[in-house]
Structure 1
């Protein structure tokens, strides 16, 4: 039987991408997707929540209702993990990232909010909800700056690189 992707057979390569090429691939993934799974820990155990996010370099951002379970968990322990992935057709198309960082909650008056807010596309959600575009939301903005990222892309095997690569700030 012919193999669709013969380069997937045999031993898995271990070669690492240089930092710039790895950063470029990660940034491409983060900016080409808009959904992630946010993992937090709370009194009832782990919580994995699908979230629409917006990227700013190696930072992911989203808004959330202040009393939501994910916000309660972040308040108790801001260490989070975020899974971002591209649609999967088969092993050859497997591409995703595990982002590890500390969530910061920026209220409307927080001095760092303006810099992040400029990259946040709140207008989309306001339009979906029939809200006025002249009044930006005042929901808390959650900002997760990546400390480390585990990036997986099986297509890298074609060039002799390990499908799992590690990035650190």
Structure 2
């Protein structure tokens, strides 16, 4: 029987990408997607929430209602895991990242807010909700600076690299 992707057969290679190539692939994934699953933990247990994100380098950001369950959980425990993934067509297209870090909630006037806010594309939401563009939202903005990323891309096997790669901020 013909095999579409014979390079997927057998044991996975173990070779690591150099840091620049790995960062390029991670940033490509973060730039080509806009939805993630945010995992938090709180008094009622774990919570996985789909959210639309924006990013600056390896920092993910999203807006949230201050009264939402995810915001209550973040107030109790700032540690998060964020899953970003590309649409899966088959094993060869498997591509995603698990981002680990701590969430910070920023409001207008906070130092980092002014740096991060321009990356949030809120205008389309305002148009969709018939809100005036002259009145931008003011937050809160949740910011997750990646401490560690587990990147998975099975296409890397084709080039002799391990499909699972590891990035840590401390190496930057």
Q: CA deviation at 1:108?
A: 1.4
Q: TM-score if structure 1 supplies the norm length?
A: 0.99
Q: TM-score if structure 2 supplies the norm length?
A: 0.97
CA distance in structure 1 between the aligned counterparts of 2:9 and 2:126, rounded to whole angstroms: 48
- Partner of 1:29, secondary structure, is helix
1:71 aligns with 2:80: no
Aligned length: 169
1:143 counterpart residue number: 143
1:102 counterpart residue number: 102
CA distance in structure 2 between the aligned counterparts of 1:39 and 1:128, rounded to whole angstroms: 27
CA distance in structure 1 between the aligned counterparts of 2:107 and 2:3, rounded to whole angstroms: 53
1:9 counterpart residue number: 9
CA distance in structure 1 between the aligned counterparts of 2:112 and 2:30, rounded to whole angstroms: 21
2:87 counterpart residue number: 87
Q: Which 4+ residue blocks in structure 1 deviate beyond 4 angstroms?
A: none
Instruction: Give the gaps of 5 or more residues in structure 1.
Output: none
Q: CA deviation at 1:139?
A: 2.5
1:111 counterpart residue number: 111
CA distance in structure 2 between the aligned counterparts of 1:57 and 1:126, rounded to whole angstroms: 25
1:39 counterpart residue number: 39
1:48 counterpart residue number: 48
CA distance in structure 2 between the aligned counterparts of 1:124 and 1:56, rounded to whole angstroms: 19
